[in-house]
């Protein structure tokens, strides 16, 4: 199969879909790989590095889209890129379709077979292709929040770890999944006063066992959220519903009791955000203020640490890319129900139920597309 990757064009996105090491693996399996010139610049990978690994360097993204059977990216295709997609082509990338009706309409119109990293599952209903970016975003959320709390950036002027004789900052993490756990790890490591909210008793027990007395846990409900955000210096929104828009857990009314200069970091912004007052920002202009509360809502946080993020992502996406290239998309999905869960759009049909429900499309189950029942790996 001819597989291609292009330079990401989203604002301040420096990651790349394939590393030189990934190209070498694909080439070793007998596949041809096309790479747009400069695609790896953001991670310090030169065209020469890709050539050495076995890639063919192309001058323009349009050449890669036109000539390759599978396109491997990081972020969702932008409007100019979506115009280059075609029926029968495979798109393998993050999509986040539920809050993005324009992208969904374009993918449906193109006829492309779109496999979304964020809905590929693993054993125990995990999301292994989302996990490394959730780890990065969770850890970055505390760095970003700590910076936003500085007076020069509009914050309260609070040092999260405090100093001897001065209380540490209070951090509220809403959601105890991968993002929330990693955020809490960083906040606890800085010496902050950390509370984690979640609705799952097993998650709360696991967090309690791990952090012991270093972080507090509370059940997540409206009353507890309202109470805790009034006391918090930094609030991390870390709630994800796979493939669907994030729930709005913090309303604008709740901001009225927050301390002036307190900070909200919405890690769920790729899925529409979990704060009512959230809207996507960029690394170039990351924050804005609503009712005296600083909002940090950068939509592609891991892009700021592109090298770490790219290699962490490649570790989990490459095995499936190899399987798709080796077997073809249909056989690969038939053989692996977890990968099949990644199929969001195919030949003008929406094949992921949460996206179809959210955006009003008819839902076509993946099993119907494949023409037979999936069997366990």
Is 153 known to be catalytic?
Answer: no
Instruction: Look at the chain and count its residues.
Output: 377
User: 85-115: string of b/e by CB count within 10 Å (b at 16+)?
Assistant: beeebbbbbbbbbbbbeebbebbbebbbbbb
CB neighbour list of residue 205: distance below 8 Å, 6 or more residues apart: none
Contact call for residues 316 and 131 (beta carbons, < 8 A): yes
Q: CA-CA distances (angstroms) from residue 101 to 87, 245, 274?
A: 19, 12, 18
Q: Give the CA count within 13 Å in the CB-facing half-sphere of 228.
A: 28
Strand partners, 282: 285
Is 200 known to be catalytic?
Answer: no
| 31, 96, 295, 338: the active-site residue | 96
| 31, 193, 270, 338: the active-site residue | 270
Secondary structure class of 313 (helix, strand, coil):
helix
Report which DSSP code applies to 35: E
Q: CA-CA distances (angstroms) from residue 242 to 228, 271, 341?
A: 26, 9, 11
CB neighbour list of residue 265: distance below 8 Å, 6 or more residues apart: 141, 144, 145, 148, 234, 235, 236, 237, 296, 297
Contact call for residues 344 and 119 (beta carbons, < 8 A): yes
- Residues with a catalytic annotation lie at 96, 270
């Amino acid at each position: 199969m001819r597989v291609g990757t292009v330079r990401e064009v989203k604002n301040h996105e420096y990651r790349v879909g394939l590393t030189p090491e990934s190209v070498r693996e694909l080439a070793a399996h007998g596949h041809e790989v096309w790479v747009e010139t400069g695609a790896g610049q953001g991670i310090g990978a030169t065209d020469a590095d890709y050539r050495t690994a076995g890639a063919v360097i192309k001058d323009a993204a349009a050449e890669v889209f036109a000539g390759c059977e599978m396109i491997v990216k990081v972020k969702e295709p932008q409007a100019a890129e979506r115009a280059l997609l075609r029926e029968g082509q495979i798109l393998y990338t993050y999509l986040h379709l539920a809050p993005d009706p324009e992208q969904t309409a374009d993918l449906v119109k193109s006829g492309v077979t779109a496999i979304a990293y964020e809905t590929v599952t693993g054993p125990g209903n995990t999301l292994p292709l989302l996990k490394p970016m959730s780890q990065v975003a969770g850890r970055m959320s505390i760095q970003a929040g700590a910076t936003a709390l500085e007076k020069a950036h509009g914050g309260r002027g609070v040092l999260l770890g405090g100093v001897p004789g001065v209380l540490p900052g209070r951090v509220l993490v809403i959601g105890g999944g991968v993002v929330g756990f990693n955020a809490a790890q960083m906040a606890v490591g800085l010496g902050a006063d950390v509370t984690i909210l979640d609705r799952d008793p097993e998650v709360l027990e696991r967090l309690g066992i791990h952090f012991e007395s270093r972080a507090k846990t509370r059940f997540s409900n409206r009353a507890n959220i309202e109470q805790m955000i009034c006391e918090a210096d930094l609030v991390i929104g870390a709630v994800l519903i796979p493939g669907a828009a994030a729930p709005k857990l913090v309303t604008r009314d709740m901001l009225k009791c927050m301390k002036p200069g307190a900070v909200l970091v919405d890690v769920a912004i790729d899925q529409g955000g979990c704060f009512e007052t959230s809207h996507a920002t960029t690394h170039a202009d990351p924050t804005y203020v609503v009712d005296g509360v600083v909002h940090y809502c950068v939509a592609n946080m891991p892009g700021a640490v592109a090298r770490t993020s790219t290699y962490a992502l490649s570790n989990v996406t490459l095995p499936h890319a190899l399987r798709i290239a080796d077997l073809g998309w249909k056989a690969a999905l038939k053989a692996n129900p977890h990968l099949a869960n990644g199929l969001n759009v195919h030949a003008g049909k929406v094949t992921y139920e949460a996206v179809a429900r959210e955006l009003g499309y008819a839902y076509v189950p993946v099993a119907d597309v494949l023409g037979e029942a999936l069997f366990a790996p």
